[in-house]
A and B are shown apart, each in its own frame.
Chain A
Amino acid sequence: MWVTQYRLRTVALTLKADGRPPSGDLPRALGGGGRAGLKAEGAALKAESGSAFSLQSSAFMIGFVGRCAFSMFRSERALWRTLHLLADFAFYCGTGYKTTQGLGQTRKVPIERVRAAQ
């Protein structure tokens, strides 16, 4: 997903979030969807913890803050390496929309911290 900075298209990802309900209205377009994309690409993205936030700005904006896990279901090591490469790249390119205006500040969680949590 981090290559969206460069307007590259990925196939659909199924996202599932756990956390506190957001305050304020959410765009209706967020609902719906399925799991087809998840299996097609052999990868899943899941929000491990966090919440949705609305921003105090001139325009209404909402985004997710928290921690996400990206899992590969395929065993190709080149894909795993690519996943780590892009996760490191996310530290510099940010994630998603309006990264030039403060949104999408991202960093990879160190592996030892992930293992400690598990």
Chain B
Amino acid sequence: MSMFLSALIPLTALNAVAAPQFYGREAHALFLSLVQRASPALADLLHADDQRKPFTVSGLRPHAPSALAVGDAATSDAAARGTALSAAQRRWRSGLAIRADMGYALRVTSLSAELSSLLLETLLPHLPATLRLGEAHFQAGAPLTDAAAHTWAGQTSADALLAKWFARDAPISARVEAQFASPTAIKGRGGCWSCLRPRRSFRVGCWRGTRMPRPPSSTTCSRWWSAICG
């Protein structure tokens, strides 16, 4: 089954860019160009239109090795208390103005063994000294791939997740909470985008593709999970 990887690439800005931007598209292009350099065949596969994309790339996010963990915790605690997000937290999710010498980060995740292996063994250890996102230039730092190094980094596998949550003593509950740290939208009926709208109830449905198979019991879940992860 697939190996999953989440890596954080610390960046130090080399120049300032005043206009706030999200840098999602730029980060996507940068990631594909890095993969192209490391493995043209895999990059062609990722470029294919009708291809499930086995990766995600974040927009540019602020990163100070000590401060980010505090900031993330503060965000979660604020969310846990149900309080509104601070102005600073709102700002970086909508777009960042780049300041020289400040710390930023990009997060990339991989859902395929082939891409995860390429990232861990070739791409991340041999990143170019400088990276460019639009008009912003950055010095790349040592990537973080371990959950112990950063809360947004980590590695696991489909097998490990299955074993973890279908273990007899797994700490399960009927309620799960998730933090959407960057703007989250779902492509809905008729190609419209849907998102959670404050003070409104609405349906999100008709997502394209085949119906999600339901696991009738733990004994068949392995097969169900294999169908999702490939």
Q: A: which residues have CB within 8 A of B?
A: 1, 3-22, 26-27, 29-37, 47-58, 61-73, 75, 77-85, 87-109, 111, 113-114, 116-117
Contacts and interface: CB of A to CB of B under 8 A. Distances in A.
A66 B79 CA distance: 7
B127 to A, nearest CB: 19
B121 interface: no
A12 B205 contact: yes
A90 B180 CA distance: 10
A55 B25 CA distance: 11
A64 B20 contact: no
B50 to A, nearest CB: 11
8 contacts: A5-B53, A20-B84, A30-B194, A64-B195, A65-B184, A100-B28, A100-B57, A108-B178
B186 A97 contact: yes
B176 to A, nearest CB: 5
Interface of B is mostly: mixed
Interface stretch (B63-71, B136-144, B157-165): B157-165
B125 interface: no
A92 B111 contact: yes
Contacts of A56: 19-22, 94-95
Contacts of A21: 198-199
Question: Top 4 nearest A-B pairs by Cβ distance?
Answer: A63-B183, A102-B24, A102-B59, A33-B203
Nearest to A16: B201
A93 B4 CA distance: 9
A114 B81 CA distance: 10
A35 B201 CA distance: 9
Contact of A114 (B151, B175, B185): B175
Interface residues of B, number: 97
B183 A109 contact: no
Q: Is the interface of A mostly helix, strand, loop or mixed?
A: mixed
B74 to A, nearest CB: 12
B179 A106 contact: yes
A12 B205 CA distance: 4
B80 A117 contact: yes
B154 A82 contact: no
B194 A29 contact: yes
A22 B197 contact: yes
Contact of A96 (B58, B186, B192): B186
B97 to A, nearest CB: 10
B112 to A, nearest CB: 11
Given A68-B196, A102-B27, A14 B203 contact: yes
Given A30-B202, A37-B203, A48 B79 contact: yes
A105 B107 CA distance: 9
A29 B206 CA distance: 14
A70 B76 contact: no
B5 interface: yes
